[in-house]
């Protein structure tokens, strides 16, 4: 059993396999932290465009609550965190700050006709810069 598992998520519904695996690995004594990073647009600071970023944050909060509900149903301790900034940097920074033991990421499937396509993915980049172990779920 792992005590602290980080599950970065975007606003899609493709994270069910990663969520289920993180829940199983956390068991009843661990915690799954759902993290959503709102990418800050260059030249459009959070302070300058507060209503825009607040709408994004509100949508993210609702999405995290839905995912958190699935963890509650599995009797897994969880919490949701929203950050603003560069997604890769914020995931790595949060993992250090929160003493994360494992990051579970939804990864794109390998495409034989485009073998390098996944190199630009968030999961690949987090895997390179992560301060802890990373598990990719396809």
Q: What are the structural domain ranges in the chain?
A: 4-137
* Helix, strand and coil percent figures for the chain, each rounded to 5: 40, 25, 35
Q: Which fold has domain 4-137?
A: Rossmann fold (3.40.50)
pLDDT band at 84 (very low <50, low <70, confident <90, very high): very high
Mean pLDDT, all residues of the chain: 92
**pLDDT class for 118, splitting at 50, 70, 90?**
low
Share of the chain above pLDDT 70, in %: 96
Contact in structure between 133 and 126 (CB atoms under 8 Å): no
List, for residues 34-48, the tens digit of each pLDDT value. Answer: 999 999 988 877 888
**DSSP assignment string, 4-27:** EEEEE--SSS--HHHHHHHHHHHT
Using CA atoms, how far apart are residues 55 and 62, in angstroms rounded to an integer? 11
Query: What are 85-106's pLDDT values in tens digits?
Result: 999 999 999 999 999 999 999 9
Q: Give the three-class secondary structure for 72.
A: helix
The whole-number average pLDDT for the span 129-134 is 93
């Amino acid at each position: 059993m792992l005590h602290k598992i980080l599950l970065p998520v975007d606003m899609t519904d493709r994270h069910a396999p990663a969520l289920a695996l993180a829940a199983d690995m956390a068991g009843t004594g661990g915690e799954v932290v759902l993290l959503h990073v709102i990418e800050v647009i260059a030249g459009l600071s959070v302070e300058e465009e507060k209503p825009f970023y607040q709408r994004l944050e509100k949508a993210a909060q609702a999405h995290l609550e839905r995912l958190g509900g699935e963890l509650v149903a599995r009797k897994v301790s969880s919490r949701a965190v929203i950050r603003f900034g560069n997604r890769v940097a914020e995931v790595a920074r949060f993992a250090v700050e929160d003493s994360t033991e494992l990051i579970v990421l939804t990864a794109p499937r390998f495409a034989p006709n485009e073998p390098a396509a996944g190199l630009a993915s968030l999961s690949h980049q987090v895997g390179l810069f992560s301060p802890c172990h990373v598990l990719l779920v396809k």
